[in-house]
Amino acid sequence: METHKQLTIGLFGFGVVGEGLYKVLQQTPSLKASIKKVCIKNPGKRRNAPASLFTTDKNDILNDRDINVIVEVIDDANAAFEIVATALKNGKEVVSASKKMLAEHLPELLALQKETERSLLYEASACASIPVIRNLEEYYDNDLLHSIRAIVNGSTNFILTKMFEEGLDFKEALLLAQQLGFAESNPKLDVEGFDAVNKWTLLLNHAYGIVERPDNILFNGIQNIQAGDAAVARSKNQQIKLVAQAKKLQNGKVAAFVLPQFVNHDEHLAFVKNEYNGVVIESGFADKQFFYGKGAGSFPTASAVLSDIAALRYHYRYEYKKLYHHTPHALSNDIFLRVYVSFDNLALIPKEKFEWIEEWHAQEERKYLVGVIAFEELKTATWWKENNTSLVLTPDPVIEDVEIRKLKKKSLELAGVVG
């Protein structure tokens, strides 16, 4: 594609994001990008665009030689993968916002980009309006990135804000998130953490060169959080957020997970409310940096798609520097987490699985404990998500293997067991 060539777009999907992009492009004529055709599933729906723009046949777009850019913003991950794979093979540049598809097919998509030498850009797929993928890809050197903590799902953050700060109940808050176009068409993907872990899969790749299946990353959503948990948070001047976290360990590997977490009121992530997302990066020399912006919604998401389209004008491609130009990092399970667990029935909590328990609160309305547990136990067991049990990480929850051994030795020494 020579510089500043007219971009002729074939768009797949005309939902919240697709229609947003259509409107945004009308307001940015300087971009020299126009939509030639839009492929939709349901031709019966009323749409705010001329009927001649639409088709239901994907080949009208994929086989059109004039169309040099495919923008794919549909809901169905399998269909999205077929479209993106065919488009790349047909020599087209691709912009996608389908985080589920991208996360589930990351290895194949990496191979396809190498094979076809075409661009596949997907800034909108994580944190919507925040340019986090391109920043991780371009700006941060592998060895300097100590940790990333982020709120990557707008709907759950919106629901938590509305429930615990404005007194709405869960159903009302979710309905509002759906009405505002933040939630996935299957809201279980938001609420139970699937959407967040899909986004985290993509960000782990651009941050650390990790290629991992989303279902191999420890995650949960906010479905088990109770009013009693929020009351405990308030009493400690904290909030509960769904936090995606990655931390480089002393052994050179990376610990990563997406779990509800208590966040101190003066932390950057505590500032992130409603559908906003936030990313806190800690690196060697820059120290702490905070990215903040809308993580869901029509125009904020379309803005990231637009930025990718604009980047195609100067032939931008992800180089996957951390994967191909550095030594990629591996994920580690060799850590321990300091967790808060609240429950109805203590008999259903396997106390022996904890390394130690630091707090017991049996008298509260909602019973809870705070203890240290192996990451591996949470990855393999399910008791902590069942029987009305709720698990929330404490602030700064990661304890490394080497530290735990030191702490255990010290406590044995104190107990007089070893000299």
The footprint of ligand HSE (CB under 6 A) covers 128, 153-155, 182-184, 190, 195, 295-296
Those residues whose C-beta lies under 8 Å from the C-beta of residue 337, and which sit 6 or more positions away, are: 257, 372, 373, 375, 378, 393, 397, 398, 399
Comparison of 23 and 351: residue with beta carbon closer to ligand HSE: 23
By the 8 A CB rule, do 388 and 224 touch? Answer: yes
Min dist CB 133 to ligand HSE, Å, is 13
Comparison of 12 and 182: residue with beta carbon closer to ligand HSE: 182
**Per-residue tokens: 270:** 């505590």
Whole-number Cα distances in Å, 257 to 57, 281, 335: 40, 15, 11
**Per-residue tokens: 247:** 């931390």
Q: Which residues pair with 337 in a beta bridge?
A: 373, 398
Query: Which three-class secondary structure state does DSSP give residue 312?
Result: helix
Comparison of 278 and 295: residue with beta carbon closer to ligand HSE: 295
By the 8 A CB rule, do 84 and 109 touch? Answer: yes
Q: Respond yes or no: is residue 199 known to be catalytic.
A: yes
Whole-number Cα distances in Å, 59 to 65, 89, 281, 394: 11, 13, 42, 51
Concatenated DSSP letters of 32-44: -EEEEEEE-S-TT
Active-site residue identified among 100, 199, 248, 253: 199
Tell me the residue nearest to ligand HSE as measured from the CB: 155
Comparison of 276 and 340: residue with beta carbon closer to ligand HSE: 276
Min dist CB 124 to ligand HSE, Å, is 8
Comparison of 126 and 341: residue with beta carbon closer to ligand HSE: 126
Min dist CB 304 to ligand HSE, Å, is 10
Q: Which residues are catalytic?
A: 199
